[in-house]
Amino acid sequence: MKPRLNITFLLSEATKFSTSESVHDEPNLYGVTDGKAVGTYLEHKFKRLLNEKYVCEIGSSAKGIDFPDLNVDMKVTSIKQPQSSSPFRSARQKVCGLGYSLLVFVYSKSDNKELQTARLDILHVIYVEEARTADYQTTQGIREIISRDGNAEDLMAFMNDRNLPIDETEALELAEELLRNPPQIGYLTISNALQWRLQYKRAIEEAGKVGGIQRIA
């Protein structure tokens, strides 16, 4: 009987998967430059592996996060520009976190002309806990304002200056909440868009150095 997937198993399998994938030659990816296609290949392969070994609920980007029962989303990105998109739900995500954790695979792709194959060298695998998935500059700024005895109006002005997609009523509610419960420092860079644009360079650099961001591989 297969065991149920949990966070410990997920991270362990991610470590082993990154090692095996980094030496695997894949003909179907030869000449492929579309990062989305590469990401889809890696996501599907990892999910198939997990399905074979564990009892688990697998989601999709279309339906939400990849591992809904673990509250974890999987992201695959190139080292050339380590970033991806995420569904926009509310401006609170930039301040309080996305609402789920991230398992991020960062690869470097190379093609072998002689063999007509491609190889994905998995350079980093990091696990960003939910509490660390907010925007770094926004959370830093809010904590600094609060540390200087700032009030709700100061926080609202700051959120307005950063063009947070939020109306005045929501901004006031959020500001009062933050005064009662200041946010943890997030380690993503989150750009405003119809979908959040998540950038991972800081998280990669800080993985293993700060609480809530683990370097898995």
175 and 207 in a single domain? The answer is no
Judgement on whether residues 59 and 121 belong to the same structural domain of the protein: yes
Q: How far is 133 from 74, CA to CA, in rounded Å?
A: 13
Residue 32 resides in a domain: yes
Tell me, yes or no, whether 76 lies in a domain: yes
| 90/98 Cα distance (integer angstroms) | 9
B/e letters for 40-73, b = 16+ CB within 10 Å, e = fewer, are: ebbbeebbebbeeebebebbebeeebbbbebebb
Q: Write out the residue range of the structural domain in which residue 15 sits.
A: 7-83+99-133+189-215
11 and 114 share a domain? yes
- The reply to whether 25 and 127 lie within a common domain is yes
Which region among 54-68, 120-134, 175-189 has the lowest average model confidence (pLDDT)? 54-68
Q: Are residues 195 and 156 in the same domain?
A: no
Q: Are residues 140 and 128 in the same domain?
A: no
- Whether residues 54 and 121 fall in one domain: yes
The mean pLDDT value for 104-115 works out to: 98
Assigned domain for 103 exists: yes
> What pLDDT, on a 0 to 100 scale, did the predictor assign at position 181?
97
Same domain, 42 and 75: yes
2-32 pLDDT tens trace: 999 999 999 999 999 999 999 999 999 999 9
pLDDT in tens, 43-84: 999 999 999 999 999 986 655 899 999 999 999 999 999 999
With respect to residue 2, please indicate whether it lies within any of the assigned structural domains. Answer: no
* Predicted local distance difference test score (pLDDT) of residue 192: 86
In the chain, the percentage of residues whose pLDDT exceeds 70 is: 98
- The mean per-residue pLDDT over the stretch 139-155 comes to 98
Task: Report the number of distinct structural domains present in the chain.
Answer: 2
Does 199 map to a domain?
yes
Q: Is the pLDDT of residue 139 over 70?
A: yes
List the Cα angle 159/152/93 in 5-degree steps: 40
Question: Between 152 and 193, whose confidence is greater?
Answer: 152
Q: Quick check: 194 pLDDT over 90?
A: no
Average pLDDT over residues 84-103: 95
Whether 91 is covered by a domain: the verdict is: no
- Per-residue model confidence (pLDDT) at position 193: 79
The verdict on 141 and 209 lying in the same domain is no
What is the model's pLDDT at position 21?
Answer: 98
Q: What is the mean pLDDT of the chain?
A: 96
- 65 in a structural domain: yes
Q: Does 152 share its domain with 176?
A: yes
Residues 58 and 158 in one domain: no
Residue 12, helix vs strand vs coil: helix
Residues 56 and 142 in one domain: no
> 209 in a domain, yes or no?
yes
Q: Are 9 and 58 in contact (CB under 8 A)?
A: no
Residues in the chain: 217
